[in-house]
Chain A
């Protein structure tokens, strides 16, 4: 089938009464999860995974993609109205979004955020539709050398992610890798670190780990401050007399280059494993500010700031799906959860997915496009409802979320073992917060560890113990070279910063 035929098949898969219903529900719930501080896109997907068990793979992915898109975009609601980002992807939206509310331009801020979120998603999804199959065609020829090198390259992103706290970040990654070694060894079928327990023979389920770390850990952390914080109340923005989406065509056109640049930044960040919307929105905002003629105006209510942040964070969605679908490597924590969902529905992400399950893959692309359109209208015109939901107290919301997490974990193996694992990882997630340890490297280590280990060992067995063939494969050499460069760059950053500071002192 040609690409256009596949796109048509994808739309055909999704545009059914069930599919449309699932997208409407998914986007609405996703916006709620994105808007409520303390909840996230990852949590939304974790909670709805058990709901998808009985669905077809196509319907399941439709629902989960709608949740993803709604949640990433929903963060702008509390970022603009409360100055509290609903998700890490909307931190930079606060800087200029809230000042616009103070100026009486709440509708404009929200309208710009929603429209450019939509445009960011559409841009990255269209690029994804044409880029991913080409990467898959190349990746189908990858062997153990290439997969090992890509896994190592992805793991070294931990070093750049944690550049402020590199040692702790790498420790988290190593601990995640260590947890992935629990269970039956895939090559020798020997038991590792199971201590005779049957429930550990299959290792820790990725979903139990993710749900525990992100949802349960968050709930336990919220307990620490639940008696201190007074709940912020979002004021209903006045929508009277507002035409269209609250801004003029002139303002829209003035943002075209800012939006395009931010979309490329978001897409690029999304493709790099381990970095997600949390970084792309800040980077896009910083670039927009630094390249403006009046950077001092940023933070006082410049629409450029809102546009940069929201375009980038939504463009990251499409970017993060590229390594997930083509290589089985998640671009960020939410796509790590989607990796679990794909596996649950017998869809093995990687180059063969495009050959064996093309209609499902193009159905995912179609769901992303249609969900973006639903998000555009639902978020802006349904704003009053979402703002009301912001007033639900956390002490009521979080226990209910924990119960949903427990149901999801129980249904993984229909026994209590994964519920206990979920809580164990919740404790680890809480401990990580207390010791200022980033959790993303842990997840990357847990997911990529087995990929790196198995391909390393298979590669060595093929070569009789020689590492040379790993360096003789061009793709493998490139990724290992970049990995080494990244490690050196991150390790020497403090030294370079010291030299820069010393030069600045000498110059003054």
Chain B
């Protein structure tokens, strides 16, 4: 509930910081004065965008402060359902893990592990069907490998299983 209350202020703060960082980087862009004049160089648009974002961020923060004072808005926010942060965090972790192991273990092994774990994370406890998830993980990975690597001749990260299969 606290997050909903301060949402706009938080977002405005983040974008204000982003605009500051962007402007600092924009001032460091190397230009070629012999090639393009100052009014059309590579810095102009980034500086304009950074400035515009800073102004809009302040407006967003002010909007957020005004909303905080609105009691009716707060009541409406209370009615909104709560999200499942643990599942989101685990989903992130599983996705990041997949990206980390994909170049090392190859497409087949990484994808089977990822699919199995991701289905476990997303499924409600009473619907966790381990044999079904294992079958879908292996089956879908096999179909995707055959379709993309063999059928469409597209490269996929190579690992143990791919080496054993001769790809």
Contact = CB atoms under 8 A, between A and B. Distances in A.
Contacts of A426: 95
A404 B60 contact: no
Contacts of A403: 111, 114-115, 140-141, 144
Interface in B114-129: 114-115, 118-119, 121-125, 127
Given A190-B32, A224-B83, A395 B39 contact: no
A402 B95 contact: yes
Interface stretch (A57-65, A165-173, A268-276, A334-342): A165-173
A477 interface: no
A435 interface: yes
Interface of B: 7-8, 10-11, 15, 18, 22, 25-26, 29-32, 35-37, 39-42, 44-46, 49-50, 52-53, 56-57, 59-60, 63, 81, 83-85, 87-88, 90-92, 95-96, 98-99, 102-103, 107, 111, 114-115, 118-119, 121-125, 127, 133, 136, 140-141, 144, 147-148, 152-157
Contacts, number: 178
Contacts of A373: none
A174 interface: yes
Contacts of A399: 114-115, 118-119, 122
B92 to A, nearest CB: 7
Contacts of B36: 187-188, 457, 461
Given A175-B53, A407-B154, A423-B95, A228 B81 contact: yes
Contacts of B96: 423
A395 B52 CA distance: 41
A406 interface: yes
A416 to B, nearest CB: 6
Contacts of B63: 167
Which residue of B18, B95, B99, B111 has the most chain A CB atoms within 10 A of its CB atom?
A: B95
B99 A423 contact: yes
Which 10 residue pairs are nearest across A and B when measured between Cβ atoms? Answer: A395-B122, A224-B83, A399-B118, A223-B91, A457-B40, A395-B123, A185-B42, A226-B122, A435-B11, A465-B39
Nearest to A168: B60
B154 A436 contact: no
Most A Cβ at <10 Å: residue of B26, B88, B103: B88
Contacts of B127: 393, 395
Contacts of A362: none
A472 to B, nearest CB: 18
Contact of B29 (A192, A402, A419, A423): A192
Given A188-B35, A188-B42, A53 B154 contact: yes
A220 B121 CA distance: 12
Contact of B52 (A168, A174, A404): A174
Interface string A223-255: 111111000000000000000000000000000
A435 B84 contact: no
A15 interface: no
A465 B53 contact: no
B11 A188 contact: no
A458 to B, nearest CB: 8
A222 B123 CA distance: 11
A181 interface: yes
A54 B60 contact: no
Given A400-B140, A406-B102, A394 B31 contact: no
Contacts of A434: 7
Interface of A: 50-51, 53-54, 167-168, 170-171, 174-175, 177-178, 181, 185, 187-188, 190-193, 219-220, 222-228, 393-396, 398-400, 402-404, 406-407, 410-411, 414, 416, 419-420, 423, 426-427, 430, 434-437, 453, 456-458, 460-461, 465
A192 B42 contact: yes
B95 to A, nearest CB: 6
Contacts of B42: 185, 187-188, 190, 192
Contacts of B52: 174
B60 A167 contact: yes
A410 B46 contact: no
A24 B53 CA distance: 46
Contact of A174 (B11, B49, B118, B156): B49
Contacts of B90: 223
Given A54-B153, A406-B98, A436-B7, 20 more contacts: A167-B59, A168-B8, A170-B56, A171-B53, A178-B53, A188-B36, A188-B41, A193-B46, A220-B95, A225-B81, A398-B118, A399-B114, A403-B114, A403-B141, A456-B45, A457-B40, A457-B44, A457-B45, A461-B36, A465-B37
Given A192-B42, A220-B88, A402 B53 contact: no
A225 B84 contact: yes
A403 B138 CA distance: 13
A188 B32 contact: yes
A399 B87 CA distance: 14
Contacts of A178: 22, 46, 49-50, 53
Contacts of A407: 107, 144, 148, 154, 156
A483 B121 CA distance: 47
Interface centre among B11, B52, B59 (most CB of A within 10 A): B11
A175 to B, nearest CB: 7
Nearest to A450: B45
A193 B25 contact: yes
Contacts of A191: 29-30
Contact of B49 (A177, A395, A400): A177
B130 to A, nearest CB: 13
